Chains A and B, each alone.
Chain A
Amino acid sequence: MNVELVGRPVARVDGRAKVTGAARYPADDPVPGALHGFLVTSTVARGEVVRIDPSQALAHPGVVAVYTHADLPRLTVPTFPYIKGFIPLQGTAVHHAGQPVAIVLATTLEQAREAANLVRVDYRAEPPTASMDDATEPPHLPLPFRGRPNEITRGDAAAAWEAAEVRVEARYSSPTRHHNPIEPHATTAQWEGDRLTVHETAQGVNLTRSVLSTAFGLPPDRIRVLAPFLGGGFGAKGPVWPHTILTVAAARLAGRPVRLVLTRAQMFTLTGHRAEFRQHLRIGATRQGKLTALVETTTAQLSRTEESIFNESDSSSTLYDCPNVHVRQEGVPPDLASSSYMRSPETTAHFGLETALDELAWQVGVDPVELRKLNHTAVDQETGSPIAGKRLLDCYRIAAEAFGWSRRAPRPGATQDGDEHVGWGMATEAHTFAAAPADPPVTASVTVGADGRAVVRIATQDIGTGTYTVIGQVVADAMGVPLDAVTAVIGDSALPYAGVSAGSATIASVTGPVDRAARAARDAVVALAVADPRSPLAGVPADEVVTAHGHLFHVRDRARRDSYRAVVGRHGAPVETTGSLRNTPGHSYGAVFVEVRVHARLGSVRVTRVVTAHDMGRVMNRRTARGQVLGGVTWGIGHALMEHTVHDRHTARVVNANLSGYLVPVCADAPAVESHFVDHPDPASTALGARGFGETPITGVPAAIGNAVYHATGRRVRDLPITRDKLL
């Protein structure tokens, strides 16, 4: 038999192509005759466009057109996954700074960009509200979003809080933060009659297709969306944004293909962000630390045109055993761009919860790990049914042991090394992964050619996470062929249907269909062999044939063998099969332990050691799974210590809309990370025992760092980021 590839640290099959530049990203390939588009964006945050004078821009060399709201046809505003609430260039209202008000088309990018500077726009400006603090209206409870209510009640939380033996009450906050994938958003739109091809930086080619279908009133089968590679998304490329629709509209008006690439600064207002967030938590517990009440009100930044909340409090309402829960997710709309999903949406509220539990642990004198074990739940807090295969307790044990948690100093501020206070902290990690929509079902096809090679096709995406590699592993294992005999073709809406690569849903939703299609292909080839008098396996019962290394063997007499290549070659036509399978949403868990060093005099915080353990069912690929941990931990350090987007209070413009002013961690900020996996197949999984995982390993990191800073210094910082000015 083959040694199974699934689970092993298989190197990325597309790694070489990526580092040599052979991998072609959506904005890489030239499109003959394409014009370059550049957006003119509003300098004011609230008001109205009074007049647009494109004459200077039109006189600029190379400029072909300047389109405004006067030129664009009326389009239909799509609903989810278009979460903007309005399409720009459909009217004169300005809802936020950076909103597109015109699009310039020119022969070169430089011409388009300079001409965009020359478009004169007059506004009637009103003073904007730039932050939740300055909002005049009180926070309100938005309507349910995609069927999910913003208020959750279980038991009588208020009464239980009043009656609690021990209480923790605290307020936590997180600033606006941006995804900042290294690859900017890019769209290339090409019309041929009423058929549309779009090269798009998309986490979901089918989402882009459905949004464009709605906006332009075009049947989906006339639209093809391509995204073979993605330079990171983190949620920013999950929803579809206005620039995509505007590029498609401009290409239609111009009668020529149009390519548009957002600038880094434009990505700070046009592609979503993690909303500014406040959290008021009241936790009641017994003297031993058992939770009896959890009352939480969160306030997130909404926008004037979009009321959805993307900082869900799932962790507060479901992560621990607590009979009395009341969670309200409120919002306030300043004059800012709409927020959206960002890896992982739970992270923001999770910071407050996991910090509050640390505060509770110190208050009752219980070890933070023991406190979490005490409040562990094996049943779904909303339905009461058991959570299949949950191994969070294993995560605590494995990570605590590897970290050496038992040697933790019992008091805050007790450990000093040279000029630095040393502190240890931990937090639970938890993430709900999504299911692909049931209809149409996620489907993969596998084609085995006369060369014996397998091609698997499915309209999923590799957003940098390793989808190409894992799909290849699954097919290779199912068919008994080497990994290099499998080619995965993905990132194209013309392929068999799959959903968005968001919500950690890719592996969870595509593995099952891919595995089924590959097993069907194997079975079909075996059937051909045993029915073929020319095959050494002729007449052998199909269930006595095994496959490995691209060959077919008689299970008891391995000298009787054939090969995929020979069988399909003799057959004279490729063998093609399909497989479909629905998946269900679920949860992945983990524990993260960190060590920080805080300079006693200067307040500098360094994260010097991180140990993680995760439970995401079966590990499909140890190397790409560890990649997710490294990315999550590093980004969690960014969230804890530096990342924040600043809006000017008077203009509501982003003050640091670039990677010089918006700090993300650099290599020197990233410590050694020791990652462990429970690696136990989930019996409820439809993905060969695996669950969705990718977003999980950031969720607890900011709280673990804050808890470690408290342990180091005795200072509790409840407002992120933990910059040195808060520790002086």
Chain B
Amino acid sequence: MRAFGYTPVRDPAEAVRVARQTPGAAFIAGGTDLLNLMRDGAQRHEHLVDISGLDLASITDSASGLRVGGLARMRQVAEHRSVRERFPVLAEALEASASPQVRNMATIGGNLLQRTRCGYFRDAASACNKRVPGSGCPALEGWNRGHAVLGGSEHCIATHPSDLAVALLALDAVVHLLGPDGPRQVPVGGFHLRPGQAPHVDTVLRPAELITAIEVPRRAAAVRSRYLKLRDRATFEFAVVSIAAVLELRGGRVRDVRLAFGGIATTPWRSPEAEAVLRGEPLTVAAIERAGRVLVRDAVPRPHNGFKVELVQRALVELLSGLGGLR
């Protein structure tokens, strides 16, 4: 690991100011991803601005919704009573993430900003357009079992690894930011960027901009929500396929449904078309299967990840039929 400078800061404004004034600066909070990236040489920073002391860790529940500070720890959020009662999908996604040790350290803001687990990205000696723009993408022709079938480009097909982001997407959450130009808000659905021509840019976050909070709008239907995560071992592993679902039924018909997917796309993935197939229809396995087919209509499978196209459709049936009481 390269030597780097270090500045602990006391308030968000100072954090933004120091980050803006210091070349090559990055924020560090829990450090559960950043330190590994730096140690492995996948990411280099001249300076770390330590924000872990900022007062941004509180969780508040109000009539308008839930507000989670950017520095709240994963475990803290997963255990919060309002989260468990009103947004079970959120608690489930968090508890399906990482390990208890990591969840004790990792923050909500950092979770949204974690980098892909693509083996080529993590190996500093491999080509990778996300790590070194223009160097190529070995995953396209190489080992791509874990890679995306949706949202990719000819420059990158790496998946976003966050479970939390998938759940937040299904809940229409909003990310609160503070930057040199002041505060702004970005819907979670617009926060992560598809690789396109610039896979090295993961999010809309601007230089020196800080995640101060996540806001989850109150929605009664979120009580009936669930997170299904499929992976290659029982725990402590990223998703092969995951789905967050919020389902509102009235008289056997789907009044509203929100579906977000992980493991299959380059960003946390929402499919309005698939939701539209179900909305207003009686909830049946056949209807869910139709929605699944719409979801994967534009999928681009690669040699090793083609099974995800089938698996995500099956997972959708599994999740919604369970959530809708069909089984």
Q: Which residues of A contact B (CB under 8 A)?
A: 43, 61, 110, 113-114, 117, 265, 419, 601-604, 606, 641-642, 646, 648-651, 653-658, 660-661, 663, 665-669, 723-725, 728
Interface-centre pick from A110, A606, A724 (highest chain B CB count, 10 A): A724
Q: What are 30 A-B contacts with C-beta separation under 8 Å?
A: A43-B125, A113-B1, A117-B2, A265-B40, A265-B123, A419-B318, A603-B311, A642-B233, A646-B119, A648-B120, A650-B141, A651-B126, A653-B123, A653-B125, A654-B123, A655-B123, A655-B126, A658-B122, A660-B122, A661-B122, A663-B233, A663-B237, A666-B235, A666-B237, A668-B234, A723-B232, A724-B230, A724-B311, A725-B307, A728-B307
A724 and B126 contacting across the interface, CB-CB below 8 Å: no
Contacts of B205 in A (CB 8 A): none
The 7 closest A-B pairs by CB, nearest first: A668-B234, A725-B307, A655-B119, A43-B125, A668-B235, A669-B234, A646-B143
Inter-subunit contact A669/B233 (CB<8 Å): yes
B15 at the interface (CB under 8 A from A): no
Contact of A663 with B232 in the complex, beta carbons under 8 Å: yes
- Which residues does B use to contact A, with CB under 8 Å? 1-3, 40-41, 117, 119-120, 122-123, 125-126, 138, 141-143, 145, 230, 232-237, 240, 307, 310-311, 314-315, 317-318, 327
Q: In the complex, are the beta carbons of A114 and B1 less than 8 A apart? A: yes
Do A604 and B233 touch (CB < 8 A)? Answer: no
* Interfacial chain B residues near A661, Cβ < 8 Å: 117, 119, 122
Tell me, rounded to whole Å, the shortest Cβ–Cβ distance linking A482 to chain B.
Answer: 40
* Also in contact, A728 and B236, with CB within 8 A (given A648-B138, A648-B142, A658-B122): no
Contact of B318 among A117, A602, A666 (CB under 8 A): A602
In the bound complex, do residue B126 and residue A660 qualify as a contact, i.e. CB atoms below 8 Å apart?
no
B237 to chain A, nearest CB (A): 6
20 new A-B pairs (CB below 8 Å) besides A602-B311, A650-B138, A655-B126?
A: A61-B3, A110-B3, A114-B2, A114-B3, A117-B41, A602-B318, A604-B230, A648-B120, A650-B141, A660-B117, A660-B122, A663-B232, A666-B235, A668-B233, A723-B232, A724-B232, A724-B240, A724-B307, A725-B307, A728-B310
Contact of A666 among B117, B143, B230, B233 (CB under 8 A): B233
| Chain A minimum-CB-distance residue to B238 | A660
Chain B residues near A601 (CB-CB < 8 A): 314, 317-318
* Bound: A560/B120 CA distance, A: 76
The answer for the CA separation of A658 and B237 in the assembled complex, in Å, is 13
Contact B234 A656 (CB under 8 A): no
Interface of B is mostly: loop
A669 to B2: give the CA distance in the assembly, Å: 37
Query: A725 contacts which chain B residues (CB < 8 A)?
Result: 145, 307, 311
Is there contact, CB below 8 Å, between B126 and A648?
yes
Could you tell me the distance between the alpha carbons of A265 and B314 in the complex, rounded to whole angstroms?
Answer: 36
Contact between A655 and B117, CB atoms less than 8 A apart: no
A602 contacts B1, CB within 8 Å? no
Contact between B142 and A650, CB atoms less than 8 A apart: yes
Chain A binding surface, main DSSP class: loop
Interface core residue of A43, A641, A650, A660 (most chain B CB under 10 Å)? A660
Known: A114-B1, A725-B311. A655 touches B235 (CB 8 A): no
**A603: chain B residues within 8 A (beta carbon):** 311
A535 to chain B, nearest CB (A): 60
Query: Contact check: which of B1, B142, B236 meets A649 at CB < 8 Å?
Result: B142
| Bound Cα distance A492, B294 (Å) | 67
Q: Which residues of A contact B125 (CB under 8 A)?
A: 43, 653
Partner of A655, one of B41, B120, B311, B315: B120
A113, A265, A602 interface centre (most CB from chain B within 10 Å): A602
Q: When chains A and B are docked, how far (Å) is the Cα of A114 from the Cα of B124?
A: 13
Are B123 and A665 within 8 A (Cβ)? Answer: no
Q: CB < 8 Å: which of A649, A723, A728 contacts B141?
A: A649
Q: Contact: B126 with A653, CB < 8 Å? A: yes
Q: Which residues of A contact B40 (CB under 8 A)?
A: 265, 658
Contacts of A660 in B (CB 8 A): 117, 122
- Chain B proximity of A636: nearest CB distance (Å): 14
Q: Which chain A residue shows the least CB distance to B3? A: A114
Smallest CB gap from A97: residue in B: B125
Residues A606 and B117 in contact, CB atoms below 8 Å apart: no
Closest Cβ of chain B to A301, distance in Å, is 17
> A40 → chain B, closest Cβ, in Å?
11
Q: Whole-angstrom distance from the CB of A175 to the nearest CB of chain B?
A: 12
- Residues of B near A667 (CB, < 8 A) are 235
- CB-nearest residue of chain A relative to B119? A655
Contact (A657, B233) CB under 8 Å given A601-B318, A651-B138: no
- Residues in A with CB closer than 8 Å to B2 are 114, 117
Which B residues are CB-close (under 8 A) to A419? 318, 327
Query: In the complex, which residues of chain B have a beta carbon less than 8 angstroms from the beta carbon of A43?
Result: 125
A264 to chain B, nearest CB (A): 10
A602 to B241, alpha carbons, bound, how many Å?
10
Report Cα–Cα, A668/B233, bound state, in Å: 8
Which residue of the partner chain A has the closest CB to B322?
A419
Closest beta carbon of chain B to A71's beta carbon, Å: 23
Alpha-carbon gap, A665 to B234, bound state (A): 8
A657 to B143 CA separation, bound complex (whole angstroms): 13
Minimum CB–CB distance from B127 to chain A (whole Å) comes to: 8
**Distance in Å: Cβ of A610 to nearest Cβ of chain B:** 15
CA of A110 to CA of B1, assembled, Å? 6
**Cβ-defined partner of B314 (8 Å) among A602, A606, A723:** A602
Chain A hits for B143, CB < 8 A: 646, 648-649, 655-656
A650 to B120, CA, bound (A): 12
Contact indicator A666/B234 (Cβ below 8 Å): yes
Distance of A604 Cα from B314 Cα, bound (Å): 12
Closest to A648 in B: B142
Q: Which residues of A sit under 8 angstroms from B123, Cβ to Cβ?
A: 265, 653-655, 657
Q: How far apart are A48's CB and chain B's nearest CB, in angstroms? A: 17
**Separation of A666 and B41 alpha carbons in the complex (Å):** 27
Contacts of B145 in A (CB 8 A): 725
Bound-complex Cα distance A661 to B233 (A)? 12
- Name the residue of chain A whose CB is nearest to the CB of B44: A117
B41, B120, B235, B314: residue with the most chain A Cβ atoms closer than 10 Å: B314
> How many Å from the CB of A132 to the closest CB on chain B?
16
Give the one of A113, A646, A655, A663 with max B CB within 10 A: A655
- Residues on the B chain within 8 Å of A642, using CB: 232-233
Inter-chain contacts of A665 with B (CB < 8 A): 233
A656 to B311, CA, bound (A): 23
Chain A residues in 8 Å Cβ range of B234: 606, 666, 668-669
Residues of A within 8 A of B3 (CB): 61, 110, 114
* Closest beta carbon of chain A to B213's beta carbon, Å: 29
**Using Cβ atoms and an 8 Å threshold, which residues of chain B touch A663?**
232-233, 237
Report the minimum CB–CB distance from B229 to chain A (whole Å).
Answer: 11
- Shortest Cβ distance from B97 into chain A, in angstroms? 13
Cα distance A228–B233 when bound, in Å? Answer: 34
In the complex, chain A residues whose CB is within 8 Å of the CB of B318: 419, 601-602
Contact of A655 with B142 at beta-carbon distance under 8 Å, contacts A117-B41, A661-B122, A666-B233 already known? yes
For A604, what are the chain B residues with a Cβ–Cβ distance below 8 Å? 230
Residues on B with beta carbons closer than 8 Å to the beta carbon of A651: 126, 138
Min CB distance B294 to A, Å, is: 19
Residues of chain B with a CB closer than 8 A to A656's CB:
119, 143
| Cα of A543 to Cα of B167 in the assembled complex, Å | 79
Q: Which residues from chain A contact B230 at a C-beta distance below 8 Å?
A: 602, 604, 724
Q: What's the minimum C-beta distance from B63 to chain A, rounded to whole angstroms?
A: 39
User: Residue on A with the closest CB to B327?
Assistant: A419
Q: Roughly how many angstroms separate A381 CA and B201 CA in the complex, as a whole number?
A: 64
Given contacts A602-B230, A648-B142, A666-B235, contact A728 B311 (CB under 8 A): yes
A669 to chain B: closest residue by CB? B234
Q: Which residue from A602, A641, A654 sits with its C-beta under 8 Å from B315? A: A602
Identity of the chain A residue whose Cβ is nearest the Cβ of B240 in the assembled complex = A724
Q: Which chain B positions have C-beta within 8 A of A646? A: 119, 143
- Which of A117, A654, A661, A728 is most buried by chain B, counting CB atoms within 10 A of its CB? A661
Nearest CB on B from A243, distance (A): 18
A665 to B230, CA, bound (A): 15
